[in-house]
Structure 1
Amino acid sequence: MSMIGEYARLTPAELDRAMHDPDWAQEFVDELIEAELDATPKASEARCHDVDKAWHALDFLLRRIDFPVDIIHGEEGIPEAEDWGYGPPRFLSPERVRTAAETLANTPHEALFEGVHPVDLAKAEIYPTIVWERGESLDYVTTHYQALVSFFQAAADTGDAMLIWLD
């Protein structure tokens, strides 16, 4: 079983409802994901997005540069939310999404990877370690980072909050 980093954009009203009714939130997000499965919208147009198994490498790289927002795990919990895979979802407020989007826009992927090689990820035991132990390219992480930049920018442009979880 894989650990996948997942995201869902919510309007402030949807986030408010999710805070008071976490069961509704899970059903709502499941419906959003289902609706986008066949359409496969671009990251800038999607309500849901995932970074596949790149989440841990992205977390490692963002922490190295002291990124101001935890865009990998979220920053606040949803009261009484149940496990959505590997724990309950967390969220970022619209203000934190905007801060993240601005910082992402000013952080080219080259800055994220400066001085980092696959062997560094293997030594740090970054999931999935077998990928880094084989010395595979960081292009996989770059592709997910660039899509995440677009996804966050679209969310910030519309004033959305963000649900974040590992599934």
Structure 2
Amino acid sequence: MSMIGEYARLTPAELDRAVRDPDWAREFVDELVETELDVHPEPSEARLHEVDKAWHALDFLLRRVDFPVDVVHGEEEILGAEDWGYGPPRFLRPERVRIAAKALSATPHEALIEGVLPAELAEAGVYPAVVWERGESLDYVTGHYQALVPFLRAAADTGDALLIWLD
């Protein structure tokens, strides 16, 4: 079973409801999945986004550049939420999404991986370690990073919050 980093854009009203009613949040996200399943919208148009197994490498690389927002795990818990795969969902409020989007736009993918070798990720135990142990390229991670940038930019532009979880 793989660990996949997942995101959902929520309006401030939807976030308020999700925080008050975590079961509603799960149902709402499931409905979004059904809606977008066959459509595959561009990241800037999507309500959902995933970074596949690149989540841990993104976390490692973003921490390395002192990124100001935890866009991989979220910063606040939804108290009382059930496990959505590998723990309950967390979230970023709209003001934190705006900060993250601005910082992502100012951080080109080349800067994110500058001077980093796959062996460093392997040594740090970054999931999935076998990929880095084989010395595979960081292009997989930067590809997911490049798709995350317009997703967060669109969320920031519309004043949305983000729900974040590992599935």
TM beyond 0.5 = yes
Structure 1 spans left out of the alignment, 5+ residues: none
Partner of 1:54: 54
Look up the match of 2:151: 151
Cα distance in structure 1, aligned partners of 2:8 and 2:147? 14
**Superposition CA RMSD, Å:** 0.5
1:6 maps to a residue whose letter is E
Deviation (angstroms), 1:26: 0.3
* Count of paired positions: 167
Deviation at 1:9, TM superposition (A): 0.2
2:102 and 2:20 map into 1 onto residues whose CA distance is 29
Q: Which residue of 1 aligns with 2:161?
A: 161
Q: Report the equivalent of 1:12.
A: 12
CA distance in 2, matches of 1:92, 1:73: 9
TM-score normalized by the length of structure 1: 0.99
Looking at structure 1, the residues matched to 37 and 116 of structure 2 have their Cα atoms a distance apart, in angstroms, of 34
Q: Kindly state the Cα deviation for residue 41 of structure 1 after the two structures are TM-superposed.
A: 0.5
Question: Hey, what does 2:120 align to over in structure 1?
Answer: 120
Amino acid at match of 1:84: W
Structure 1 ranges of 4+ moved more than 4 A: none
**How high is the sequence identity, in percent, across the aligned residues?**
78
Q: How far apart are the structure 2 equivalents of 1:93 and 1:78?
A: 12
Describe the SS at the equivalent of 1:51. strand
1:162 counterpart SS class: strand
CA drift at 1:87: 0.3
Of Structure 1 and Structure 2, the greater helix share is in 1
Please state whether the residue corresponding to 2:146 is helix, strand or coil: helix
Give the drift of 1:118: 0.8
Give how far 1:33 is off. Answer: 1.2
Instruction: Quote how far apart the aligned CAs of 1:92 are.
Output: 0.2
**Structure 2 letter corresponding to 1:19:** V
Q: Equivalences for 1:19-58 in 2 at 5 Å?
A: 19-58=19-58
Aligned partner of residue 82 in structure 1, secondary structure:
coil
Within a 5 Å distance, the mapping from 1:126-137 to structure 2 comes to 126-137=126-137
Query: What's the counterpart of residue 67 of structure 1?
Result: 67
Q: Deviations over 1:99-123 (max 9, x none)?
A: 0000000000111101101111111
Q: What TM-score does the superposition give when structure 2 sets the normalisation length? A: 0.99
Shift of residue 86 of structure 1?
A: 0.3
User: Partner letter of residue 44 of structure 2?
Assistant: S
Residue identity opposite 2:20 in structure 1: H
Structure 2: distance between partners of 1:50 and 1:34: 15
